[in-house]
């Protein structure tokens, strides 16, 4: 009977315990009474358990404020300093006023010089406060029925946790949520300034199975460590935080399902340690906020295990290694591609991001991630070659380096065109100083131009006459052709005579037109030596001006010939013929090989982008 009685008693106790959590009886205080209890406390720590703090319009006006679209209007901005520690367990605050929906109630303009602990408190608001002591918020003991009971018994109860516009000078430990049941709690850590004392200071924010999570617009100054663990919430935002020199460890777990997950416009000066178990098309990760700064948590853990199992850093345990800046910097600079397991995990993380951006049809970010992926591979190839030199290893490493420079590993075909233009221009400069078959004047072009003007200035002839003397052989051939046509037009069908005359005019047109233009420009009218001294200076200047124009034209033609030769060699290797002699002939062969190689890679890159 005694045993049966004990069993029944235990069952009744367990049932009462379960019932008490869902139908809890609270001690109820107004905000004014609550703070009076704190100020009257004679101990070094104020403790309160199982209480509900309601808003009383008659006594609590000191603690309310209006949020006029973030232009906060406070009833009182007097600073209240609390010099004792606070330990609040299962204490909930009504921070919505039923008389005015725009009025909120909470801790504002307060200085907490000692540690503040809130255990299983689902509703409170800290705004414009200063925490000189540690702030600990642990909320993992609730079940959904309990929160629903609070909501039904206290109409203005709002399950929201707010940390807004505060200055936090000691480590923050915040753990919100529970595993068994989805919670209706919303958490808002926004616009706070974290100024932690030293690099070993750790801020931890852990969220699990709650309604809404917002970690936005916070600033972290100095150095320290921020660990953010987020499981499911209906809406999650980690937005526009300035982490600066803080080391950040972000974990996005896959045990729950976040409907919307936003992580963008954050700023990091240090590498970001990431562990993302699942991606969804509804998630937002902006790659540019941490480009080239991602570290795989799994890869880093593999490195720490390597240090522990190989006997290195024997004086440090796992926790000390994990938070050591020296160990972390060594890993990020070299060991992430030297340790095989770490390298595999790093590639896995980048591969996850690549697939995620492809799923979202974000080609820009996908290409950036792919470039980071291949950069890490190139570092790995270099390390392997240094460890075990071989021609194959060296060639594979150098090919990767070339692909990075030439086309960003095939993600930027336009870059390959720009690089090809550089090669074409470089070889064109070389060809410029050597004669080729395409330039009929070759290296004598500039010399002939000097002789032409020298002759014009010395002889009592018009500039067009000097020009025509230079064209004498060509003109003579045309005149001979015309004489044959005229002398024998009756001996052949008239078709040949009539068809040849337009050809003759077309053949001599350029020479005739050029001669007429020069005749109009002829202002010397005699030799330069016999020119009147009063006008000699003007005519000299005009002659030099025409000479510079002609010389510019000659240089342009020479550059154009060199450029065309370079383009032809780069694209076709001269159709089997190389119209140049000497050393440049061998350079042309090398250029042709480079062109074949580059154009092949360009074609592959372009096709790859088209397929993507």
pLDDT in tens, 164-194: 999 999 989 999 876 555 677 889 999 999 9
pLDDT in tens, 353-362: 999 999 888 9
What pLDDT sits at residue 144? 60
* Residue at which a domain ends, from 290, 307, 338: 290
Average pLDDT over residues 412-417: 83
Q: With cut-offs at 50, 70 and 90, classify the pLDDT of residue 198.
A: confident
Average pLDDT over residues 430-434: 82
* Residue 382: CB atoms within 10 Å: 18
Please tell me the distance from the alpha carbon of residue 511 to that of residue 158, in angstroms, as a whole number.
95
What pLDDT sits at residue 243? 93
What pLDDT sits at residue 48? 93
* Residue at which a domain ends, from 264, 290, 316: 290
Chain mean pLDDT for the chain: 81
Q: Are 185 and 122 spatial neighbours (Cβ–Cβ below 8 Å)?
A: yes
pLDDT in tens, 225-271: 999 988 777 888 999 999 998 999 998 865 555 567 889 999 999 99
Place of tokens 């290195």: 312
Beta strand pairing call for 202-208 and 186-190: unpaired
Please tell me the distance from the alpha carbon of residue 324 to that of residue 347, in angstroms, as a whole number.
23
pLDDT in tens, 329-348: 999 999 999 999 999 999 99
What pLDDT sits at residue 337? 93
* Residue at which a domain ends, from 290, 305, 337: 290
What pLDDT sits at residue 277? 78
Contact partners, residue 448, CB within 8 Å, separation at least 6: 441
What pLDDT sits at residue 607? 77
Question: With 80 as the cut, is the pLDDT of residue 142 above it?
Answer: no
What pLDDT sits at residue 8? 37
Please tell me the distance from the alpha carbon of residue 361 to that of residue 348, in angstroms, as a whole number.
20
Q: Does residue 375 form part of some domain?
A: no
DSSP β-bridge partners for residue 173: 136, 204
Contact partners, residue 137, CB within 8 Å, separation at least 6: 117, 118, 121, 161, 172, 173, 174, 175, 176
Q: With cut-offs at 50, 70 and 90, classify the pLDDT of residue 103.
A: low
Total-model pTM = 0.73
- What percent of the chain lies above the pLDDT cut of 70? 84
What pLDDT sits at residue 297? 93
Q: Are 601 and 406 spatial neighbours (Cβ–Cβ below 8 Å)?
A: yes
* Maximal C-alpha separation, the chain: 150
Question: With 80 as the cut, is the pLDDT of residue 441 above it?
Answer: no
Q: Does residue 399 form part of some domain?
A: no
Please tell me the distance from the alpha carbon of residue 584 to that of residue 577, in angstroms, as a whole number.
13
Q: With cut-offs at 50, 70 and 90, classify the pLDDT of residue 143.
A: low
Minimum mean pLDDT range among 44-58, 127-141, 372-386, 427-441: 427-441
Minimum mean pLDDT range among 106-115, 408-417, 442-451, 538-547: 442-451
Q: With cut-offs at 50, 70 and 90, classify the pLDDT of residue 298.
A: very high
What pLDDT sits at residue 355? 92
Please tell me the distance from the alpha carbon of residue 507 to that of residue 511, in angstroms, as a whole number.
8
Q: Does residue 145 form part of some domain?
A: yes
What pLDDT sits at residue 487? 73
Please tell me the distance from the alpha carbon of residue 144 to that of residue 183, in angstroms, as a whole number.
6
Report how many domains make up the chain: 2
Question: With 80 as the cut, is the pLDDT of residue 61 above it?
Answer: no
User: Bigger pLDDT: 424 or 58?
Assistant: 424
What pLDDT sits at residue 219? 95
What pLDDT sits at residue 301? 94
Please tell me the distance from the alpha carbon of residue 512 to that of residue 198, in angstroms, as a whole number.
88
Q: With cut-offs at 50, 70 and 90, classify the pLDDT of residue 74.
A: confident
Average pLDDT over residues 74-79: 76
DSSP β-bridge partners for residue 252: 230, 276
Side-chain-side CA neighbours of 148 within 13 Å: the count stands at: 7
Average pLDDT over residues 96-125: 81
What pLDDT sits at residue 575? 56
Q: Does residue 101 form part of some domain?
A: yes
List C-alpha distances in Å: 155 to 22, 23, 148, 161, 554: 16, 15, 11, 17, 92
Q: Does residue 190 form part of some domain?
A: yes
Q: Does residue 384 form part of some domain?
A: no
Q: Does residue 295 form part of some domain?
A: no
> At 555, phi and psi to the nearest 5?
-65, -40
Q: With cut-offs at 50, 70 and 90, classify the pLDDT of residue 304.
A: very high
Q: Does residue 269 form part of some domain?
A: yes
Q: Are 178 and 203 spatial neighbours (Cβ–Cβ below 8 Å)?
A: no
Beta strand pairing call for 202-208 and 210-216: unpaired
The angle, 0 to 180 degrees and rounded to 10, between the axes of the packed helices 363-387 and 340-359 is 160
pLDDT in tens, 255-265: 555 567 889 99
Question: With 70 as the cut, is the pLDDT of residue 146 above it?
Answer: no
Owning domain of residue 253: 45-290
Average pLDDT over residues 517-527: 72
């Amino acid at each position: 009977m005694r045993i049966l009685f004990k069993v029944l008693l235990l069952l009744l106790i367990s049932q009462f315990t379960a019932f008490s959590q869902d139908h809890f009886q609270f001690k109820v205080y107004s905000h004014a009474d609550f703070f009076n209890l704190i100020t009257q406390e004679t101990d070094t720590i104020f403790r309160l358990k199982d209480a509900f703090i309601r808003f009383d319009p008659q006594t609590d006006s000191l603690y309310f404020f209006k949020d006029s679209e973030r232009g906060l209007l406070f009833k009182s901005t007097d600073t209240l300093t609390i010099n004792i520690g606070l330990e609040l367990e299962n204490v909930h605050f009504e921070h919505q006023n039923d008389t005015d929906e725009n009025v909120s109630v909470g801790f504002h303009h307060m200085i907490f010089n000692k540690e503040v602990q809130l255990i299983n408190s689902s509703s409170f608001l800290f705004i414009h406060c200063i925490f000189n002591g540690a702030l600990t918020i642990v909320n993992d003991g609730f079940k959904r029925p309990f929160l629903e009971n609070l909501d039904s018994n206290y109409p203005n109860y709002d399950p929201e946790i707010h940390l807004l516009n505060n200055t936090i000078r000691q480590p923050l430990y915040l753990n919100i949520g529970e595993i068994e049941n989805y919670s209706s709690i919303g958490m808002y850590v926004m616009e706070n300034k974290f100024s932690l004392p030293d690099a070993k200071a750790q801020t931890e924010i852990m969220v699990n199975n709650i309604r809404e999570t917002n970690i936005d617009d916070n600033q972290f100054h100095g150095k320290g460590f921020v660990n953010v663990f987020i499981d499911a919430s209906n809406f999650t935002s980690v937005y526009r935080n300035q982490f600066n020199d803080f080391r950040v460890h972000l974990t996005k777990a896959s045990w729950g399902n976040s409907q919307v997950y936003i992580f963008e416009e954050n700023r990091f000066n240090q590498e970001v340690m990431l562990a993302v178990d699942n991606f969804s098309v509804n998630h937002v990760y902006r790659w540019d906020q941490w480009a080239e700064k991602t570290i795989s948590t799994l890869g880093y853990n593999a490195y720490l295990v390597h240090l522990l199992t190989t006997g290195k850093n024997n004086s440090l345990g796992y926790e000390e290694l994990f938070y050591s800046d020296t160990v972390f910097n060594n890993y990020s600079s070299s060991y992430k591609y030297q340790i095989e397991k770490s390298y595999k995990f790093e590639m896995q993380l980048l591969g996850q991001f690549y697939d995620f951006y492809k799923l979202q049809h974000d080609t820009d970010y996908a290409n950036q991630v792919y470039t980071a992926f291949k950069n890490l591979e190139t570092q790995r190839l270099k390390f392997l070659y240094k460890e075990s030199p071989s021609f194959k290893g060296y060639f594979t490493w150098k090919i990767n380096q070339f692909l990075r420079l030439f086309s960003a590993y095939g993600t930027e075909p336009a870059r390959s065109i720009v690089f090809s233009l550089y090669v074409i221009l470089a070889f064109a400069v070389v060809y410029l100083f050597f004669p080729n078959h395409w330039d009929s004047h070759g290296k004598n072009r500039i010399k002939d131009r000097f002789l032409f003007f020298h002759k014009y200035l010395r002889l009592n002839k018009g500039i067009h006459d000097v020009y025509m003397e230079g064209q004498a052989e060509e003109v003579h051939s045309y005149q001979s052709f015309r004489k044959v046509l005229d002398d024998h037009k009756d001996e052949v069908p008239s078709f040949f005579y009539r068809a040849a005359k337009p050809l003759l005019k077309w053949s001599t047109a350029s020479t005739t037109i050029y001669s007429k233009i020069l005749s109009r420009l002829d202002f010397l009218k005699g030799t330069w030596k016999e020119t009147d001294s009063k006008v000699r200076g003007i005519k000299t200047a005009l002659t030099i001006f025409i000479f510079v124009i002609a010389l510019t034209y000659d240089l342009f033609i020479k550059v154009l010939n060199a450029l065309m030769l370079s383009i032809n060699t780069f694209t076709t290797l001269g159709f089997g013929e190389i119209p140049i002699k000497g050393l440049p002939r061998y350079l042309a062969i090398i250029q042709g090989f480079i062109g074949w190689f580059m154009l092949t890679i360009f074609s592959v890159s372009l096709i790859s982008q088209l397929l993507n």
